[in-house]
Structure 1
């Protein structure tokens, strides 16, 4: 077994990657990740998920149906802060790990310690050069064009209902593979496209903090919540904690859309 990577050394390696990226403009999405190569050459592994499934889902099993019920008046931005982060692996190496797909092929978990250097390496990449994200299990047969009415004066969205929603955003180093993708409504993915909502709330917190703290690191983990054998999650729980403690939140992101009833087994929708 490879030795665990000291965080200080990991930051040094990540800094080298960021410098190479700035000079050479590499696109990691087109080939092996340079950070992986550096870590392997040094005899270390990058990201490992050292927890049991029970630890990885700490506190999530206790979320009841009432917790998952969305109220437009109470949560117009499609997220709710539940408290402080619980799913944090203090001993993990920097990098992003992905849970195995479950028996139904559903994404189960993604997360890890993300450094300022890792964020800097992503920033120099052209998003248009990234491969298309995988179609996750449960991706609806029909992706209807609809209108999602804005709440309390927010913008009304007109377009496709379903997005391929990342558990860990591409802008934070997340992959385009099925283990990191779930079917998410447009509002689950980015909110109203004006103020950061949905998954965009914690993603914006993470990007802003990392850009302002290039020597820092933060824990970011996302766990989709399914009901029974449904292939589309009802919600996603995100845990985010910075190493200085200035951000420490567990956030519930609702996978829904104002004015629409969703069948989470098929992805079919009808006006509420």
Structure 2
């Protein structure tokens, strides 16, 4: 009888310790969830709840997996976007230390993975990029941009950039690549989940080299400095949403090369100076020139332009000349690419808009760097 009593006492003590341990784990989970409360009030859902078929619970499970770093960045993005701000660089991006990559274990060189979250929104896009993909993507764009989930009506707006002192007049929204055509080629057009609804300025920044373009050019410049290299680049873009909003407040772009030369995280801000955006509907409170449907969008290399940009110049503005395969614009004229860079000589004029220099600059185009297809 005495042995049974001792055994019972020991068992009771063990159960008490187990309960204490369980309480500590729950407290830790709740503390972590409080960091993420700006994303979802129900982010304290347990792992076991993630298997529930309910849409709201499934969405909660997806949002609860956000990291502390992402929660911190989202909080910053909400502040910037609510303030219609271009961020600390005034160019719609800023850097945030080293890359924080995940889930690349099953991806090999040249492979991609595009997924949606529980609400059907574009989620993290991943790719292991190669120099061969970069080389193959040169020239004209490799496909047609796809509608991202919840693509809204589009409006023409004015975005006045504090960084440059210039004003962009054109469509607010672009079909923005998470992983760009210039890096991935035609594979970048294989899924709508590689696209998000991004403002013009989110796409290319205030000076055509900011926003998502800054991240893309980081890798492009690496490839240019290391031609024909066997090095690969892990590239990961994570759109960050506030609660159940349909349009991201911004994105985290994590980039790391296999030789360690590239190792950075870039935060991209999805806002537009002077425009108050509703991130659920896609509407904005700035005075719009007109409203159109989705046919007017673009990706980071195919940004939409105002009607004046789309029209070709008449003969009264001067005729181009051709020599040795190169077509050179007449005096005062330029060829404007889909990424809004202008050149004076090009190999394939059909891929460009032929505008006066003043028209190009007023539309926000900047002088491009000479390459194998276009030069200044």
Normalised by the size of structure 1, how large is the TM-score?
0.72
Distance 1:90 1:264, change over 3 A: closer
For each residue in 1:235-258, what CA deviation from the matched residue of structure 2 results, as whole angstroms up to 9, or x when unmatched? 100001122322211111000000
Residue 159 (structure 2) aligns with:
148
The gaps in structure 2 that reach 5 residues or longer are 1-61, 288-376
The answer to whether structure 1 residue 185 and structure 2 residue 196 are counterparts is: no
Q: Which of 222, 231, 242 is residue 209 of structure 1 equivalent to?
A: 222
- What does 1:46-57 correspond to in 2, within 5 Å? none
Residue 69 (structure 1) aligns with:
79
Residue 235 (structure 1) aligns with:
250
Q: Distance in 2 between matches of 1:89 and 1:228?
A: 24
For each residue in 1:187-210, what CA deviation from the matched residue of structure 2 results, as whole angstroms up to 9, or x when unmatched? 00011244x100000101111111
For each residue in 1:67-111, what CA deviation from the matched residue of structure 2 results, as whole angstroms up to 9, or x when unmatched? 542244623100111111011556431124224222332110112
Q: Which of 273, 276, 286 is residue 271 of structure 1 equivalent to?
A: 286
Distance 1:120 1:73, change over 3 A: closer
For each residue in 1:84-142, what CA deviation from the matched residue of structure 2 results, as whole angstroms up to 9, or x when unmatched? 1011556431124224222332110112221112211222x531xx332111122112x
Any idea what SS the aligned residue of 1:100 has? strand
Residue 83 (structure 1) aligns with:
97
Any idea what SS the aligned residue of 1:153 has? coil
Residue 134 (structure 1) aligns with:
146
Any idea what SS the aligned residue of 1:144 has? strand
Normalised by the size of structure 2, how large is the TM-score?
0.53
- C-alpha displacement of 1:168: 0.1
Residue 175 (structure 1) aligns with:
188
- C-alpha displacement of 1:163: 0.1
Of structures 1 and 2, the larger Rg is shown by 2
- C-alpha displacement of 1:233: 0.4
Q: Distance in 2 between matches of 1:131 and 1:169?
A: 11
Q: Distance in 1 between matches of 2:207 and 2:72?
A: 31
Q: Distance in 1 between matches of 2:93 and 2:233?
A: 20
Greater fraction of residues in helix: 2
Q: Distance in 1 between matches of 2:281 and 2:87?
A: 27
Q: Distance in 2 between matches of 1:166 and 1:220?
A: 13
8 Å contact kept, 2:110–2:128: yes
Distance 1:140 1:148, change over 3 A: same
User: Which shows bigger deviation, 95-104 or 161-170?
Assistant: 95-104
Aligned length: 214
Instruction: Kindly report structure 1 stretches of 4+ aligned residues shifted beyond 6 Å.
Output: none
Q: Which of 169, 173, 176 is residue 158 of structure 1 equivalent to?
A: 169
Q: Distance in 1 between matches of 2:207 and 2:73?
A: 28
Distance 1:152 1:179, change over 3 A: closer
8 Å contact kept, 1:68–1:254: no
Q: Distance in 1 between matches of 2:261 and 2:214?
A: 16
The gaps in structure 1 that reach 5 residues or longer are 1-52
8 Å contact kept, 2:115–2:125: no
Any idea what SS the aligned residue of 1:118 has? helix
